Amino acid sequence: MGILTRYLLRAHLGPFFFAFTALTGLLFLNAIAQRLEALVGRGLEWSVILEFAVLSLPHTVALTLPMAVLVAVLYAFGDLAANNEVTAMSAGGVKPSRILLPMVAAGTLVTAGMLYFNDRILPEANHNLKNLLVDIGNKSPTF
């Protein structure tokens, strides 16, 4: 892996992890808040609430990972352009396709990972979450 490839990937990693963490946290808290009324007042054990939280996370990840990739690419290339690094690379003889190649390769890997995730992991988690919510709904309230 060349110096330019490592530099471009590093320029994207920070914004990607920040965006992924922030977006996942926000949407995860939203998902928990929407179901809070189904969880509170039923005398549930902490293990059931933790299981609900863990089973809610894959859906949130499936939504936020593409958003995080978009935010990271926009931020990183915006930062590179603002610092005139894209201009310097072009002046140094680097073609625009060479600048984009590491991101296209990383995007392809993320896409392949998300295809597997959405095909295997997400349906199983959603099914288990639905079963858990039905079990919670059948439990009588403790009020």
| Burial grade of 75 (CB within 10 A; 0-12, 13-18, 19 or more) | middle
pLDDT tens, 31-71? 989 888 777 777 788 898 899 999 999 999 999 999 999 99
Is the pLDDT confidence value at 130 over 80? yes
Q: Please, are residues 52 and 116 in contact by the beta-carbon 8 Å criterion?
A: no
What letter does residue 142 receive in the DSSP assignment? -
69-126 per-position pLDDT tens digit? 999 999 999 999 999 999 999 999 999 999 999 999 999 999 999 999 999 999 999 9
Mean pLDDT on 22-37: 92
Whole-structure pTM value? 0.86
